[in-house]
Chains A and B, each alone.
Chain A
Amino acid sequence: MTDEARWREETVAPSLQRLPQRRAAFATDSGLPLRDVYLPEDADPPEKLGFPGEFPYTRGVQPTMYRGRLWTVRQYAGFGSAEDTNRRFKYLLQSGQTGLSTAFDLPTQSGYDSDAPLAEGEVGKVGVAISSLRDMETLLAGIPLDQVSTSMTINAPAAVLLAMYIVTGEQQGVQRRQLSGTVQNDVLKEYIARGLYIYPPEASMRLTTDIFAFCSREVPRWNTISISGYHIREAGSTAVQELAFTLANAVAYVQAAVAAGLDADEFGPRLSFFWNAQMDLLEEVAKFRAARRMWAHIMRERFGAKRPAAQMMRFHAQTAGASLTAQQPLNNIVRTAVEALAAVLGGAQSLHTNSYDEALALPTEDAARIALRTQQIIAEESGLANTIDPLAGSYAIEALTDEVEAQAWQYLDRIEQLGGAVAALEAGFQQREILRSAYEHQRQLESGERHLVGVNVQVMEEKQRPPLLRISPCLADERAKELAQLRQERDGRAWQRALDALGEAAGGTVNLMPPIIEAVRCRATTGEICDVLRREFGEYHPPSVL
C-alpha cells in the first residue's frame, strides 16, 4: 500500500465520516477538477511534510482542512459599555460571523474596576468595561452560550473573567461542560511585549496552570490558553522572533503544567496559538507551516505526548495592526486582504481581519463590515479553500519554511541557555531583541530602504478624513454610579467571606478557580478580586531594556 493509500484509509476516511466535505467535488473556475491534496508526482512525500492531519502537521492539522469546514470568522470586538458591545456582537452574528471574540478595556485587562483612579480616561476605550458579574450578564444577554463559542482576550485577570462567564452560563441554564471558548491567558507575552501584567511570573504561572487543571476537569471544551506571538510581532519583532519567543513561552507553560501534575496528552489538546499575519506573504506562510512542524516535534519528543491532538498546533491569526497606515487609510483594506491570504494559505483555524481605520481609532461599524467581507470574499470566491496547503512543494515556500524553522530553533537554544523563557524575559532578553528589530525597521523606513505606500512613497495631500468611532465621555461616570449601587446592594457579609477565602487560598497551594467563582457569585468585582491577589502575590516591576 502506498503512503497515500494508507493516509486515505487511516486518516481521511474516519474524518469524512465525522465531517463530510462541503461539496461532493471541487473544481476550478474553468471546471478543472481540484484534488483535495497535491503530492509529489512519483514519490511519497518527505517526512518533514507528511500528509494533512498527520505528524508533523506541516500541511495542516485536519485531514480535509477547509474542504470540510471553512476557518472560523472571528472578529475581535468590544468597546464602551456591555450594552454597546452586546449590540455589536449581535450585529456580527447576524452578519455571518461564527464565533465571538471579546476585547476588554485596559482597566479590565489590568485588573481594575471602571471607577479606579488609574482607570481615568481609559474606560470603554479599547474594549468593553467588565467590572462585575452583572456586566458579563449584560454583555452576553440573548446570546446562547451552548451554541456560540467565545474567545476572550484576557490574561492577568483571566481566571476572574472565566469565572464570570461560567456563572453567566449557569444562569442561562448552560452546563460548564457545554461551554466552549478561549481565554488568552498568556501572561508571558505580556511581560515580553504587551505590558498588561499584574503579578510576578511565578504567581502568574500558578494562575495559568490552575485554569488548565480546573478546565480539564470541569470545562473540557474550553481552550485554556492562546499562546500569542501576535503582540510580540506588533511590538516590532521579526517573523522568526515571533515564532521562537512564542514557542519558548509555550514550552514554559507545558513545563509548568507538567510540574503541576498534569498530563501532556490530557491538556495538550486544549492549547491553542495566536499568530500575526503580516505583509510578507511568503515568509508568513512559511512561518505558519514551520510553527506547526516545530510544535509537533516539541510535544512528541520533548514532552512525550502521544495523542495526535496534543501534537497539533491549532491557531488563530489576526492581520497586522502595525502594518496599517494613518495615511490614505483605504489602502489598509488591501493590506488586510494580503495578510488574510497569508493566514488562509498558512492553514489558520480562525481569523480576524483588521478594519482600515484602526491606525486612527477603534473601527466604525462600516469599517468592521468591510473587514468581515474581506475574509468572506476569500472564503467564497477565491477558491483557496478548495485544496489543502496549495503552496506546498513550491521551491520558495519549502526553502523558506526550512529556513524560518532553523533560525527559530537557534533562538530557542539561546533561550534555553538563558534558563528558559521566564528567566530570559526577567533579564530583558526577548524585549531587547524585539526593540532592536523595531528600531531597524524604523531606520529602514527613514533611509528609504523599505517602502511604505502613502507614507514614504506615493505620498499625497489628503483632504477627506474617514468618520471615526467616539466613546461617550459620560461612560466612566455612569459606570461609577452602577458600581456604587452594586456595592451597596450586594450581601456584604457573603462578599467579605468569599474574598477572605480567596486570600487564604492564594496563600496556600489549592486551585484558585473555585474561590474566584465563589467571589464572582457573591458580586465581588474584577478590581476587588485582583486586589486580594495583589496583596498575596505582589506586583511585577519590569527590567529596563533601553
Chain B
Amino acid sequence: MTGPDRRIRVLIAKPGLDGHDRGAKVVALALRDAGMEVIYTGIKQTPEQIVQAALQEDVDVIGLSCLSGAHSTLFPRVAKLLAENDARDIVLMAGGIIPAEDVPFLEAHGVARVFGPGTSTREIVEFIREVAASA
C-alpha cells in the first residue's frame, strides 16, 4: 500500500472535549517536516468523525491525543469503529496524559503504541516508518 511514490499519510486527531492540542499540533508539524502527509482534525471530534476522516483521507496511521483522562473510553471506540469499517490495517497510535497502568488495556483494545509525555518526535517518526514499511 505504501509504495515508493506514495507518501505516508497520517491523521492526527483529538477525540473528546479536551482542548489541549499543543502536543497534537507539534507532532503534526514534526511528521510533516519528516516528509509525511499530515491531516489534523482539530479538537472536539467524536470517534465517528475521526474514523470517517481517516477513511476519507485514506490514511496509514491515526494518532490520537487526549490529556483529559477520557482515553480509556474514547480510544477503544475508535479501534472498534475501524474494525467495523474493515479498516484494521490503519495503525492506531496515541499520546497524552496516559498513566502507565492504562497502557496494557489500550494495547489490548487496538492501540498499537502509546507515547507518553517527554517522547521525542524522532521516536514517533521512526515508529510510523517501521509500521508503514511492514504494511
Q: Nearest chain-B residue to A441 (Cβ)?
A: B26
Q: Is the CB of B19 within 8 A of A125?
A: no
Please tell me if B56 contacts chain A, counting CB pairs below 8 Å: no
Summarize B's interface: helix, strand, loop or mixed: loop
CA distance A112 to B118 in the complex (A): 32
CA distance A109 to B116 in the complex (A): 26
Q: Is the CB of A196 within 8 A of B25?
A: no
Say how far A39's CB is from chain B's closest CB, in angstroms: 42
Say how far A155's CB is from chain B's closest CB, in angstroms: 11
Given A196-B19, A361-B97, A438-B25, A446–B68 Cβ distance below 8 Å? no
Given A106-B18, A360-B99, A361-B69, A236–B118 Cβ distance below 8 Å? no
Please tell me if A372 contacts chain B, counting CB pairs below 8 Å: no
Which are the 7 A-B pairs with shortest beta-carbon distances?
Answer: A195-B19, A121-B73, A121-B70, A106-B17, A125-B69, A326-B117, A455-B118
Contacting residues, chain B, for A196 (C-beta < 8 A): 17, 19
Please tell me if B110 contacts chain A, counting CB pairs below 8 Å: no
Q: Is the CB of A544 within 8 A of B42?
A: yes
Which chain A residues (93-137) contact chain B, with CB distance < 8 Å?
106-107, 109-110, 112, 118-122, 125-126
CA distance A351 to B39 in the complex (A): 39
Q: Give me the interface of B with A, judged by CB distance under 8 Å.
A: 16-22, 25-26, 28-30, 38, 40, 42-44, 46, 68-74, 97, 99-101, 116-118, 120-122
Q: Is the CB of A439 within 8 A of B29?
A: yes
Contacting residues, chain A, for B42 (C-beta < 8 A): 542, 544
Q: Is the CB of A126 within 8 A of B117?
A: no
Say how far B126's CB is from chain A's closest CB, in angstroms: 13
CA distance A112 to B122 in the complex (A): 38
Given A110-B17, A325-B117, A455-B118, A125–B68 Cβ distance below 8 Å? yes
Q: Is the CB of B26 within 8 A of A438?
A: yes
Summarize A's interface: helix, strand, loop or mixed: loop
CA distance A452 to B29 in the complex (A): 21
CA distance A361 to B70 in the complex (A): 11
CA distance A118 to B71 in the complex (A): 14
Q: Nearest chain-A residue to B21 (Cβ)?
A: A195
CA distance A326 to B119 in the complex (A): 10
Q: Is the CB of A195 within 8 A of B69?
A: no
Question: Of A118, A455, A468, which one neighbours B17 at CB under 8 angstroms?
Answer: A118
Given A106-B17, A121-B73, A435-B25, A546–B121 Cβ distance below 8 Å? no
Please tell me if A194 contacts chain B, counting CB pairs below 8 Å: yes
Contacting residues, chain B, for A121 (C-beta < 8 A): 16, 70-74
Q: Is the CB of B122 within 8 A of A122?
A: no
Which chain A residues (348-365) contact chain B, with CB distance < 8 Å?
359-362
Q: Is the CB of A360 within 8 A of B97?
A: yes
CA distance A326 to B17 in the complex (A): 23
CA distance A359 to B23 in the complex (A): 13
Contacting residues, chain B, for A234 (C-beta < 8 A): 20, 22
Interface string of A226-242 (1 = CB under 8 A from B): 00000000111000000
Q: Is the CB of A107 within 8 A of B28?
A: no
Q: Sample 24 A-B pairs with CB under 8 A, ordered by A number.
A: A106-B68, A118-B46, A121-B72, A122-B17, A122-B18, A195-B19, A195-B20, A195-B21, A235-B20, A236-B26, A326-B116, A361-B69, A435-B22, A435-B25, A435-B26, A438-B26, A439-B25, A439-B26, A439-B29, A445-B120, A468-B101, A471-B69, A546-B29, A546-B38
CA distance A236 to B22 in the complex (A): 7
Contacting residues, chain B, for A546 (C-beta < 8 A): 25, 28-29, 38, 40
Question: Of A325, A361, A544, which one neighbours B118 at CB under 8 angstroms?
Answer: A325
Contacting residues, chain B, for A110 (C-beta < 8 A): 17, 44
CA distance A327 to B69 in the complex (A): 19
Contacting residues, chain B, for A544 (C-beta < 8 A): 40, 42
CA distance A455 to B97 in the complex (A): 16
Interface string of A352-389 (1 = CB under 8 A from B): 00000001111000000000000000000000000000
Contacting residues, chain A, for B97 (C-beta < 8 A): 359-361
CA distance A171 to B53 in the complex (A): 49
Q: Is the CB of B121 within 8 A of A361?
A: no
Contacting residues, chain B, for A471 (C-beta < 8 A): 69
Contacting residues, chain A, for B28 (C-beta < 8 A): 546
Contacting residues, chain A, for B18 (C-beta < 8 A): 106, 122, 126, 195
Please tell me if A147 contacts chain B, counting CB pairs below 8 Å: no
Q: Is the CB of B22 within 8 A of A438?
A: yes
Given A122-B68, A327-B118, A195–B43 Cβ distance below 8 Å? yes
Interface string of A276-292 (1 = CB under 8 A from B): 00000000000000000
Question: Of B17, B20, B40, B101, which one neighbours A107 at CB under 8 angstroms?
Answer: B17
CA distance A119 to B38 in the complex (A): 28
Please tell me if A417 contacts chain B, counting CB pairs below 8 Å: no
CA distance A175 to B51 in the complex (A): 51
Given A194-B19, A360-B99, A442–B69 Cβ distance below 8 Å? no
Say how far B94's CB is from chain A's closest CB, in angstroms: 14
Please tell me if A482 contacts chain B, counting CB pairs below 8 Å: no
Extra 10 A-B pairs, beta carbons < 8 Å, given A326-B117, A544-B40: A118-B17, A118-B44, A236-B26, A361-B69, A362-B69, A435-B22, A438-B26, A452-B118, A456-B120, A546-B40
